[in-house]
A and B are shown apart, each in its own frame.
Chain A
Amino acid sequence: DADVTQTPRNRITKTGKRIMLECSQTKGHDRMYWYRQDPGLGLRLIYYSFDVKDINKGEISDGYSVSRQAQAKFSLSLESAIPNQTALYFCATSDQGRNLETQYFGPGTRLLVL
């Protein structure tokens, strides 16, 4: 079974709709992250969480919100989706221990906003 899972894997929605992308992990890691990837661009950090009570904005948080429901779950919401939020979204985790920088990624959610 995958250590980091994302649901849904693909989603098509319309402008103005609220949608939620979910991430679950079985790695027991404290830290979780949401990134987006656009064609020809690297991954950009949206939000990150060091534990359930610690949520931080990343480079491109505008238009997004997150919820850390439990150590293993981190959800990303688009309150009112717009077409330029069409992208590939990745969740990632990292360990509080020695190798903080080594992040483990989920398979991604491909989102299309019409």
Chain B
Amino acid sequence: KNEVEQSPQNLTAQEGEFITINCSYSVGISALHWLQQHPGGGIVSLFMLSSGKKKHGRLIATINIQEKHSSLHITASHPRDSAVYICAVIQGAQKLVFGQGTRLTINP
């Protein structure tokens, strides 16, 4: 079992839909990162969370430390949001573990 599980692995939606991508992890963590990888391969860091919720534009990230779960939400999705979204967790002071990513496709 992977230490970081993302779901779904693939998601296709229509423009304007509300999108949720989930990240679950199996051990205690000190922080969690959400990254976006564009179709061309470039990686952009979206959020770093250790508790609660963060918002940037149409993107919202939440984390529930007790349930070992984080979600990334996209409101009013747009084709330019099509990318692979990657969750990464820092496990205490020992390890940085990445999920395998969720491939999101938004159709016009």
A and B held together in a complex: no
